[in-house]
């Protein structure tokens, strides 16, 4: 398994500003993912972030709005730019590991963002 | 494309009742199947998984069996507790990728004492 922490756990931001979310893993992992969970909804994949390469974004998500950094194998950041109330969601990072359970994804505790 | 369908919630049960949350899937190939749980105010935790037909995943008294003939992965628990109140998500790995997850809509479970 993997232990994942995120900062901040929650934030309230003003429209037009940006928020950067940090994700730290306790072991080296190749693949990290960023998800959005809108209120009462399931998860939507924003992008896949592999160390040493550009993040791969899913349909409907663009780098200008959601820039991602992946400087090493244990850390990533997601920035949500030019915030609007529609960006109010929980943002989760996850990692893929291979081990006793085979390929499995583990999740961080999430960052709850409220945009006013 | 691949998809996951879960029973709609909320599901409300009394403590010690038997739980079933239905999950069916559509996929090409042989996906792995997962149940994740999200307790109030927390992130997602992997509850159990199964990687091939007839596999049974189990954890914390919960079980689910990978049924290829019915394309199902129903979650069951014999006696639920108030602490099991959470949202449960069924998911599968995409057939063309062994790491991206396709998610169900989630089922909210409420257990009353």
**Cβ atoms of residues B91 and B32 within 8 Å:** no
Tell if the CB–CB gap between A107 and B98 is shorter than 8 Å.
Answer: no
Residues of B within an 8 Å Cβ radius of A: 32, 34, 36, 42-46, 49, 51, 89, 93, 98-101, 103-106
Convert the pLDDT of each residue in A21-41 to its tens digit.
Answer: 999 999 998 889 999 999 888
Tell if the CB–CB gap between B99 and A92 is shorter than 8 Å.
Answer: no
Q: What is the CA radius of gyration of chain A?
A: 14
Residue A14 has pLDDT above 70, yes or no: yes
- Chain A, residues 34-93, CB within 8 A of chain B, namely 41-43, 45, 48, 92
Chain B CB within 8 Å of residue A104 CB? yes
In the predicted model, what is the mean pLDDT of chain A?
92
Convert the pLDDT of each residue in B75-91 to its tens digit.
Answer: 999 999 999 999 999 99
């Amino acid at each position: 398994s993997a232990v994942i922490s995120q900062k901040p756990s929650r934030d309230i931001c003003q429209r037009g500003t940006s928020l950067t979310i940090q994700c730290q893993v306790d072991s080296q992992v190749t693949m990290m993912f960023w998800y959005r969970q809108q209120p009462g909804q399931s998860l939507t994949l924003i992008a896949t972030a592999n160390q040493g390469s550009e993040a791969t974004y899913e349909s409907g998500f663009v780098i200008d709005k959601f820039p991602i950094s992946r400087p090493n194998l244990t850390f990533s950041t997601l920035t949500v730019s030019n915030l609007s109330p529609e960006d109010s969601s929980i943002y989760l990072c996850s990692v893929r590991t291979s081990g006793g359970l085979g390929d499995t994804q583990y999740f961080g505790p999430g960052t709850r963002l409220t945009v006013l | 494309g691949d998809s996951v369908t879960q029973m709609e919630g909320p599901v409300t049960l009394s403590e010690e009742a038997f739980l079933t949350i239905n999950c069916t899937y559509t996929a090409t190939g042989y996906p792995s199947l997962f149940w994740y749980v999200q307790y109030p105010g927390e992130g997602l935790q992997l509850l159990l998984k199964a990687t091939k037909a007839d596999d049974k995943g189990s954890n914390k008294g919960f079980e689910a069996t990978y049924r290829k003939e019915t394309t199902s992965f129903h979650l069951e628990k014999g006696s639920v507790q108030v602490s099991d109140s959470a949202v449960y998500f069924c998911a599968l790995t995409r057939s063309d990728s062994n790491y991206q997850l396709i998610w169900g809509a989630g089922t909210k479970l409420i257990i009353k004492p």
